């Protein structure tokens, strides 16, 4: 019989060197399998006499056990190693911090847009957009402001150089042209808000040449002034986060609505501090009305079949009111100290469910 110590060392070192489960398996087969070397030696035991057989049998068994244990141990190690490397390859470092919370801030204008969209979104409005550079038709004529209309003077329009068509494009003076563009392309019923930038050649304590508005438009067959009032009162409650906001609608004039109104909400100003809600004073916050039949017709909608309401409000103004920002011009100073003070954490998205403000 061959030298069992050598055989054992040879097999054990082969096991130790096996670098895959497959390699290990072929070692097992060649040593302990049906025709394996150890198995063959076992078969040879029968030819020995009883004493020799007992001694050789014990030694062979010891070899067999040692090799078999080594294979088992090595197999566990190889499986662990395979799992380790798979895990390492698929590793995602979830300990990496998200964008630092302490640095960037959302501008109050962006925050206010997000809040308005959250509220009207919940009421079934979708967001519409239009270009900042408009033509005369969308900014004025379709909105029932013909060329010689005095309302054109009130708009302090920025005109751009004449285009190839002989017309001078304008920087839109309000978001109302988005009403026109929506009605031209969407078949009613429709319900949209249009937040965006607007421009007027005006600059003082309470005016900046660029500012922001949000427009609202509802067109269907039945919406009336009562729906307009309910919708806007609900908006003010949600936006100012005050359950009881008294509201009043004062008759007013806009060329694109008939009747037209301005909405005031209740407030108090005791001790120099403005508080929205029941009080002894009123604050104007937006313009609104029933869409003028001429506007519907100019946009290709039959005024005998459809009707609806519209509103428009200034974003800076309602942001100043809610967040106690005293000076309009600071919105556009790009002053980091101001932004750190009045800005918002970008990841705290306003929703009605969780709350609009942190």
Residues lying near ligand DAH in the complex (CB under 6 A): 174, 176, 215, 254, 257, 287-289, 310-312
Shortest Cβ 289–ligand DAH spacing (Å)? 5
Cβ-proximal residue to ligand DAH, closest one = 312
DSSP annotation of 218 reads E
Shortest distance in whole angstroms from residue 155 CB to ligand DAH:
8
In the complex with ligand DAH, the residue whose CB is nearer, 112 or 257, is 257
In whole angstroms, the minimum distance from the beta carbon of 215 to ligand DAH comes to 5
Closer residue to ligand DAH (CB): 74 or 174: 174
| Beta carbon nearer to ligand DAH, 198 or 339 | 198
CB of 139 to ligand DAH, least distance (A): 10
Give the C-alpha separation, 154 to 151, whole Å. Answer: 5
Residues 6+ apart with CB under 8 A from 258: 289, 290, 292, 293
* Nearest CB to ligand DAH, comparing residues 14 and 180: 180
Q: Render 164-189 in DSSP notation, one character per residue.
A: TTS---EE-SSSTHHHHHHHHHSPSS
Query: Is the Cβ of residue 216 or residue 266 nearer to ligand DAH in the bound state?
Result: 216
**CB closer to ligand DAH, 130 vs 287:** 287
The minimum distance between CB 349 and ligand DAH, in angstroms, equals 27
Asked if 256 and 291 count as a contact pair (C-beta separation under 8 A), the reply is yes
Nearest-approach distance from CB 103 to ligand DAH, in angstroms: 36
DSSP calls for 288-357: EEEEPHHHHHHTT--TTT-EEEEEEEEHHHHHHHHHT---GGGGGS--HHHHHHH-B-TTS--BTTTBS-
CB atoms within 10 A of CB 323: 13
Helical H segments across the chain, by residue range: 4-17, 21-32, 37-44, 50-89, 108-122, 136-139, 151-154, 177-185, 225-240, 293-298, 315-323, 336-342
């Amino acid at each position: 019989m061959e030298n069992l110590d050598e055989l054992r060392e040879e097999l054990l070192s082969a096991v130790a060197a096996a670098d895959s489960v497959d390699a290990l398996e072929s070692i097992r087969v060649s040593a302990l399998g049906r025709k394996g070397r150890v198995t063959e030696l076992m078969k040879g035991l029968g030819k020995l006499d009883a004493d020799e057989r007992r001694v050789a049998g014990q030694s062979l068994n010891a070899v067999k056990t040692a090799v078999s244990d080594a294979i088992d141990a090595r197999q566990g190690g190889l499986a662990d190693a395979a799992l380790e490397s798979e895990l390492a390859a698929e590793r995602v470092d979830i300990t990496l911090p998200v964008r630092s919370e302490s640095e960037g801030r959302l501008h109050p204008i962006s925050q206010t847009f997000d809040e308005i969209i959250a509220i009207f979104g919940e009421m079934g409005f979708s967001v519409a957009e239009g270009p900042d550079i408009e033509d005369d038709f969308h900014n004025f004529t379709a909105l029932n402001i013909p060329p010689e209309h005095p309302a054109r003077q009130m708009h302090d329009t920025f005109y751009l150089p004449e285009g190839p068509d002989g017309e001078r494009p304008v920087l839109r003076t309000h978001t109302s042209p988005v009403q026109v563009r929506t009605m031209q392309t969407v078949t009613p019923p429709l319900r949209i808000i249009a937040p965006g930038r607007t421009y007027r050649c005006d600059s003082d304590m309470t005016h900046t040449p660029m500012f922001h508005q949000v427009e609202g438009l509802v067109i269907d067959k039945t919406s009336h002034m009562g729906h307009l009032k309910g919708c806007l009162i609900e908006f003010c409650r949600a936006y100012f986060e005050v359950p009881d906001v008294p509201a009043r609608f004062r008759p007013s004039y806009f060329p694109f609505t008939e009747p037209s109104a301005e909405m005031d909400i209740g407030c108090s100003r005791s001790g120099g501090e403005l508080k929205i809600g029941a009080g002894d004073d009123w604050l104007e916050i937006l313009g609104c009305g029933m869409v003028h039949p001429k506007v519907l017709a100019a946009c290709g909608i039959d005024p005998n079949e459809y009707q609806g309401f519209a509103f428009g409000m200034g974003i800076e103004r309602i942001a100043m009111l809610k967040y106690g920002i005293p000076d309009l011009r600071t919105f556009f100073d790009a002053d980091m100290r101001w932004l750190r003070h009045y800005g918002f954490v970008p990841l705290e998205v306003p929703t009605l469910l969780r709350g609009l403000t942190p």
